[in-house]
Amino acid sequence: MAAGVSRRASGIMPSPTMWIQDMVSMLRRSGKEYYSLHVGQPGISPPSGVVEVLSRVLRERSGDVSLYAYAPPRGIPELREAIARDLASLGRVRPDPSRGVVVTTGGIEGIFSSIASVTDPGDPVGVVVPAYFHFYSILKLLGNRIVEVSSYPSLDVSEDLWIDLFSRVKAVIVANPDNPTGRVLSRGEARLLADLSCDKRVYLIHDVAYYTLYYEASREWPENYCMDYVITVGTFSKDPGIPGWRVGFVAAAEDVAEAVAHVREATSYNAPIPSQILVLEYLKGGYREKFLPGVIEEYRSRREALAGALEELLPKAKFKKPAAGIFIYVDLSSYLKTNSEEWAKSIAVENGVLTIPGTLFGKGGEKWLRLSFAWEPSERLKEAVEVIASKLKG
């Protein structure tokens, strides 16, 4: 008789993407209309011009065996240089492209390899609840002890909470903009986290997955005050919008970046070469400058539509309109009479509205939902909220 799967694997919280995808498949087979307010990925395709450039490059190099060979685990050198320039243009201190930048197979691998590089099994790692659900999965897989501080119900984090968290851990993971809340670091917070990192020698993994999707907020970098202990983890899944093509990056001090590269040799070794070429062309060819402003305006319009519908149809719902990112995290405790996970599954099956329940982001989210405005156009976001409101009030 088989012994069964490992405790390591069985202890990982099931990703909501798995049951959501099962739900999507079921809805598609039934032919039922559904609303995608669950997705953490863009609903806007990359600019066609950069895809055409990639196609041309692949055709021209089709007989070049190096196109199909392993790439350096650190990533294509030209892409690392482009990433370093890009980060500097966005206000972050410029990392050393040759020794301080590593291209990863998506942002999740970047977080995984960063945590694996600066902690050992059993080391405590801090998160602010609500926290992105993959943080929990990665930390459990690596055998870290998770230390939580809660930002409920205000979703704000006080200076005392930050100090308390940094005093008890080996590393802290912070998403900025945050997933699910949309919270961003202020300049004072960025300086505080940097000072705590350097003073206490606690690594700060700065997850900047949505680092170009800013509307009103300013972009702040703790890295600018503490290079040795702040690690930047980013992805190109959100901009230019190629989540399935798996390209991310880590920018860090030389010793950390070296360790990240070694960890990557034991995972995926190198990110897909065609994906790296596309991102390189996107960054160096001036495509972002033409593409991103329109994306920002469209997402801002969708955010306003979703927030306006919530205010109109669910006036007792509590939320903060995010100044960055693609999510609204809403407190439905005045309406919701059951657990948010149970309710989210119910409205998906019965009404075709797909959302992410707050329970998946840690303790305290039992009456909260994460709603994404990245995939659906404004009119469909309003329709989805009408369905949500009708079900809640009914």
The pLDDT profile of the chain, 394 residues, written as one tens digit per residue, is: 456 777 777 777 666 666 777 777 777 777 788 899 998 888 888 988 888 888 898 898 888 888 888 889 999 999 999 999 999 999 999 999 999 999 999 999 999 999 999 999 999 999 999 999 999 999 999 999 999 999 999 999 999 999 999 999 999 999 999 999 999 999 999 999 999 999 999 999 999 999 999 999 899 999 999 999 999 999 999 989 889 899 999 999 999 999 999 999 999 999 999 999 999 999 999 899 999 999 999 999 999 999 999 999 999 999 999 999 999 999 999 999 989 989 998 998 889 999 999 999 999 999 999 999 999 999 999 999 999 999 998 7
Considering the domain architecture, whether residues 74 and 202 belong to the same structural domain is answered as yes
Q: What is the pTM of this model?
A: 0.92
Q: Render 321-390 in DSSP notation, one character per residue.
A: --SBSSEEEEE-TTT--S-HHHHHHHHHHHH-EE-EEGGGGSTT-TTEEEEE-SSS-HHHHHHHHHHHHH
Contact in structure between 281 and 50 (CB atoms under 8 Å): yes
Q: Which 8-state DSSP code applies to residue 43?
A: S
Pair 268, 366 in one domain: no
Indicate whether 314 and 349 sit together in one domain.
yes
Q: Are residues 257 and 321 in the same domain?
A: no
Q: What is the DSSP letter of 120?
A: -
Both 346 and 299 in one domain: the answer is yes
248 is in which domain, residue-wise? 48-285
Based on the domain organization, do 139 and 156 belong to the same domain? yes
In a domain, 21, yes or no: yes
Question: What span, in angstroms and rounded, lies between the C-alpha atoms of 8 and 31?
Answer: 38
Number of domains present in the structure of the chain: 2
The single-letter code of the amino acid at 290 is: K
